[in-house]
Structure 1
Amino acid sequence: MSYSIFQSGRSRRNGTFHNLESGIEEQVEALRDELAELTRLVGKNSRHQSEKIRSQAGAGYEELLSRSEDLLRELQHGYERGTTEMRDTVRKHPLATLGAAAAFGLAIAFLARR
């Protein structure tokens, strides 16, 4: 009779451990599923954010390119106006231009001596 008492106690413990073990396995499996879903959502969100940032960067690049082209055109027009004004000044005042060039040359020579 003592054998059956110990045997029945063991089977109850094994059944309890088995139930506990299967419950833990189910929880681990559920956590794996949730983790996989979370990973999928994070990946999807990351792709969405990267596409959004890429489009914003593309728009910013296009705007920067457009503005730089406008600035380059303005600089070219300013250079052309300056060149035209300088030619007109030299034609209208040739002696003053020679005097200014001579003074500039003397100033450079004086500074180069030091």
Structure 2
Amino acid sequence: MAYSFFQSSRSRRNGPLHKLETSIEDQIEALREELAELTHVLGKTSRHQGEKLRSQASASYEDILGRSEDLLRELQQSYLRGASEVRSTVRRHPLATVGAAAAFGLLVAMLARR
């Protein structure tokens, strides 16, 4: 009985439903192909954008590194100039320096008591 049922459904496949089924299967296959192509194109585009961003980040990193090295050099030079100015001031005015240091020490001691 089951065999005859399947046989009868197969015989109906040659009608309009079979054509519709075939059309839908063809459309599904076409959509699969388009989806695969779109995935491929999207992968290429993503890779290209990733490489572009990586290149920009590398250039920005190099720029920041160069600027930080320049800034470090400027800070070192400023520190050395400041240290030499303090030394020369102490040599020119030793008593004023000792008095200023004593006054600063007293001020810190008074603030520490409170």
User: Unmatched 5+ residue regions in structure 2?
Assistant: 1-10
1:82 counterpart residue number = 82
TM-score by length of 2: 0.88
Instruction: Please state how far the C-alpha of 1:38 moved relative to its aligned partner.
Output: 0.5
**Separation (CA, whole Å) in 2 of partners of 1:81 and 1:92:** 16
CA displacement, residues 24-65 of structure 1 (integer Å, 9 cap, x when unaligned): 000000000000011111110000000000000000000000
**Separation (CA, whole Å) in 2 of partners of 1:25 and 1:63:** 57
RMSD: 1.5
Question: Counterparts in 2 of 1:89-100, with a 5 A limit?
Answer: 89-100=89-100
1:4 counterpart residue number = none
Instruction: Please state how far the C-alpha of 1:12 moved relative to its aligned partner.
Output: 6.8
Instruction: Please state how far the C-alpha of 1:13 moved relative to its aligned partner.
Output: 7.0
Identity %: 70
Consecutive aligned runs of 4 or more in structure 1 exceeding 3 Å deviation: 11-14
TM-score by length of 1: 0.88
**Separation (CA, whole Å) in 1 of partners of 2:97 and 2:38:** 78
2:31 counterpart residue number = 31
